Amino acid sequence: MKLNFGGMIPISTVDWYGRSASVIFFNGCPLRCLYCQNYKLLDENKPVELEEIEKKILSAKSFISAVVFSGGEPTMQYEALESLARFVKDNGMLVGVETNGYYPERLKHLIKKKLVDRLFLDIKAPVHSDKYSIITGGVEDAGERVFESLQLIDIPLEVRTTAFRSFSDISGIAESLIGRDLTYVIQQGLPENAPDGEIRKEKPLARDELAALAESVSFLKDVRIRTKENGEERIC
């Protein structure tokens, strides 16, 4: 079996707060988000045998306690994801999956098979809003699928929103999270990394602006911000 492989960060301390983890990037994604910082992974084709990826994971094992699968969208290559997740678990490490939630049934299978310990779900706009289709490049059912994913997740969950001046409906997103046991992280969007030319002209939201957004949704029990300058901070 092969993985359309987008690269690896052998040791990361920012992808899973409180843990040292390797991050494996999967090429390919069903969405075309206007601000995607990993847009170069969307159409790349670099097939690599899973055995090679497993060797890379083992080479970092002495320094990590978890492996995070990211992308692109890792659930787009489900068979490779399941195989690698099982390999990680069999080697005594935790599995995290960073996902846009577009494939709820695939997430359900992973959870049922106990092959994922923590999900990092990227929610871009209120799930029933037309903004979801706009942000994702015209994918009409994106918000509906994310909403379905949100309903089925019954393991530790971190919801993430990358905020830009033109896309920062934090209150609308947070309202859909009321009553759920999760961490909500508002990430500082970096316009210079976006594929869309208009977004690249924007000024990034400052740390204090993000903190104010976080405070506005303090009805959630664990709200954090993540900035280039200060890393992750719990606000409320």
What lies within 8 Å, CB to CB, of 231 at 6+ separation is: 14
**Is residue 32 classed exposed, middle or buried when 0-12, 13-18 and 19+ CB atoms within 10 A define those classes?**
middle
Note down the domain range covering 206: 2-234
Residue 120: what pLDDT?
98
Distance CA 134, CA 170 (A): 16
- CATH number of the structural domain spanning residue 55: 3.20.20.70
Residues in the chain with pLDDT values less than 50: none
Please give the pLDDT value at position 113: 98
Question: Which pLDDT score, from 0 to 100, does residue 235 have?
Answer: 97
Q: Report the pLDDT value the prediction gives residue 74, as an integer from 0 to 100.
A: 98
Tally of domains within the chain: 1
Radius of gyration of the chain (CA): 17
Give the model confidence (pLDDT) of 87-120 as tens digits.
999 999 999 999 999 999 999 999 999 999 999 9
What pLDDT was estimated at residue 168?
A: 81
Give 30-80 as a 3 state SS string.
Answer: CCCCCCCCCHHHCCCCCEEEHHHHHHHHHHHHHHCCEEEEEECCHHHHHHH
> Could you tell me the CA-to-CA distances from 194 to 15, 51, 60, 168, 190 in Å, in that order?
20, 33, 30, 15, 7
Alpha helices, DSSP H, located in 153-216: 170-175, 197-200, 207-215
The kind and range of the H/E element at 224 are strand 223-227
Site of tokens 């049934």? 105
Identify the pLDDT of residue 9: 98
Residue 196 confidence (pLDDT): 87
- pTM across the whole model: 0.96
Position 197 scores a pLDDT of: 87
